Amino acid sequence: MCGICAFFRHPEIENFKDHALTLSKRIRHRGPDWSGNVIKNSTILLHERLSIVGVDSGAQPITNADETIALAVNGEIYNHRILRAKELSDYPYKTHSDCEPIIPLYQKYDTDAPKYLDGMFAFVLYDAPKDRIIAARDPIGITTLYMGRSKKNPQTRAFASELKCLVDDCDEIIAFPPGHVYDSVTDEVTRYYNPIWWDAEKIPSTPANLTLIRETLEKAVRKRLMSEVPYGVLLSGGLDSSLIASIAARETSKAILDNPIDHSLAGIDESGTLINTSGSRLHSFAVGLPNAPDLQAAKKVAKYIGTIHHEHTFTLEEGLDALKDVIWHLETFDVTTIRASTPMYLLSRKIKAQGVKMVLSGEGSDEIFGGYLYFANAPSREEFHKESVSRVKNLHLADCLRANKSTMAWGLEARVPFLDKEFLDVCMTIDPTDKMITKEHIEKYILRKAFDTSDDPSAKPYLPDEILWRQKEQFSDGVGYSWIDGLKDAAEARITDEQMANPKPEWGSDIPTTKEAYWYRLMFDDLFPQPSAASTVMRWIPKADWGCHADPSGRYAKTHEASVLSTE
């Protein structure tokens, strides 16, 4: 991933350039490897590069042969080799970048170009002869993107990977909606991603195909091992991250065995084979307070699957000290996101210091399979499915935002196999009856069962049973229960009852209901005082009528049973 920033039809573009460079520098943490910019007509595109694929020749913005089209991309396109070989074989490529095929896709399919991309991305493309800009974001919103407008320059449209690039110059900012494309010709944002499961009123009836679930997730992981640099996995020891780590360990071993290390064009070929990797064994990373549940479980998984494991601990004080920096990078005051992001933010710094630039992560599984414990109280299969679809649609406001910004704060890229388009199509069209939590079926039963090899004595298990069937822990709980307790205590000491009784008038109806939430909101306002900033924030909303506690910690769900794993 990288950082992008663009200003379209700015009335004083040459004079504005120095300011634009300053704005782009605010997201240099996303792309510490190189910076680039292109000015054409009254438009400027800026790029801060994190080199993962096409390391030697993938500097951006990328231009076509006659330099009439310029492209700035933040993301990874997993099917770029297939596009180059088949769909776009006649195009005269200038780089090995996985992102360059977006230009010939635009030339061939116009604003339908994003439909042909398999990956996570946010891009801005400028067509100089037409004085036209288009922008798009990946289907689920794994990659962040914001769009801004200004009353001072009403013809100008601004785009950036992070809010902080736009707040000084735009008085209207939105989080660019996932699965949409903007076209300056119409000045409209329209949806291009329309899978069959998007309409939550259409309840699927297809029985779960366990083999298809397993094979599709394995393929999703394989795609995301496209890299020319060292990579690893975030390993909490819970089901989701452990499955991803187990699959990645198998695929990494196979790829190194079967293929010489050749970084000329990393990716997946037409048969779905991983062409090359960084050439090293898989690293795994875990974080928590000392003796946290996640650390104990992660150690067991790492030993079992054979990763080079790195365990990092942090103190409560270190976590509290990082909060304001975390909010600066997250650009939110949502309690759930901040709680879970702080350990991830601290871990990402450690990972980058160890020379790793890309990690796989387990976001999305709980939304797809109804893994949050409150799903046990779903009144019907129909309501279960509707809630699952709603959670997937809103991932860009919560878990995807956390995974992207917590890691990119240190120039570390996080990839999320569970949000693969093909995997989503398979799993979001399963009869929700097969996903429901019952006395006989633990949460995410069909996912666990898909990787249960107990009926095949010749197969090596993906995970030990105690991990495969481990109950759900919220990430902010699993890093150590005293983490959340410590946050609440710190907020109690800093926020008075008088403050709670007298919220800021400008907050309107969006008033924090706890001292912890109030504390985070004050820090956000201090960092982003502009009125347009708070309008981009959405909070994780509990499903109260299903017994989901207002405090999103998993421990408050009635079905939660603390599970203590031995450290042996």
Rounded alpha-carbon distances, angstroms, from residue 553 to 141, 144, 375, 485, 500? 24, 25, 14, 10, 22
Q: Is 480 exposed, middle or buried (0-12, 13-18, 19+ CB in 10 A)?
A: buried
Q: Which domains does the chain show, CATH number per domain?
A: 3-191 (3.60.20.10), 210-487+498-556 (3.40.50.620)
* Residue 361 counted as an annotated binding residue: yes
Which residue is listed with tokens 């995410």?
444
How much is the pLDDT for 268? 58
- Paired sense of beta strands 146-149 and 358-360, if any: unpaired
| CA dist., res. 314 & res. 284, Å (int) | 17
Closest CA to 476 of 343, 346, 345: 343
Helix crossing, 316-330 with 481-494: angle to 10°? 80
In one-letter notation, the amino acid at residue 168 is: D
How much is the pLDDT for 294? 87
Sign of CA dihedral 492, 493, 499, 503: negative
How much is the pLDDT for 154? 97
2 catalytic per annotation: yes
- 3-class SS of residue 392: helix
* Residue 98 counted as an annotated binding residue: yes
How much is the pLDDT for 253? 86
How much is the pLDDT for 263? 44
| CA dist., res. 65 & res. 192, Å (int) | 28
Catalytic residue (choose from 2, 165, 400, 427): 2
| CA dist., res. 482 & res. 478, Å (int) | 10
How much is the pLDDT for 264? 47
Chain segment 101-136, per-residue pLDDT in tens:
999 999 999 999 999 999 999 999 999 999 999 999
How much is the pLDDT for 8? 98
Chain segment 336-376, per-residue pLDDT in tens:
999 999 999 999 999 999 999 999 999 999 999 999 989 99
Residue pair 500/518 in contact (Cβ under 8 Å)? The answer is yes
Q: pLDDT tens, position by position, for the chain (568 residues)?
A: 699 999 999 999 999 999 999 999 999 999 999 999 999 999 999 999 988 776 776 689 999 999 999 999 999 999 999 999 999 999 999 998 999 999 999 999 999 999 999 999 999 999 999 999 999 999 999 999 999 999 999 999 999 999 999 999 999 999 999 999 999 999 999 999 999 999 999 999 999 999 999 999 999 999 999 888 889 999 999 999 999 999 999 998 887 555 544 444 555 565 665 554 455 679 999 999 998 888 999 999 999 999 999 999 999 999 999 999 999 999 999 999 999 999 999 999 999 999 999 999 999 999 999 999 899 999 999 999 999 999 999 999 999 999 999 999 999 999 999 999 999 999 999 999 999 999 999 999 999 999 999 999 899 999 999 999 987 665 456 676 789 999 999 999 999 999 999 999 999 999 999 999 999 999 999 999 999 999 999 888 878 889 887 775 545 455 444 333 333 3
Longest dimension (CA), the chain: 71
| CA dist., res. 261 & res. 461, Å (int) | 28
Beta-strand ranges (E) seen in 263-344 are 283-288, 308-313
How much is the pLDDT for 277? 47
**Tokens coding 440:** 């006989």
Residue pair 231/279 in contact (Cβ under 8 Å)? The answer is no
How much is the pLDDT for 323? 98
What pairs with residue 360 in β-bridges?
A: 233, 415
* Residue 212 counted as an annotated binding residue: no
Residue pair 360/227 in contact (Cβ under 8 Å)? The answer is no
**Tokens coding 49:** 């590069």
- 3-class SS of residue 360: strand
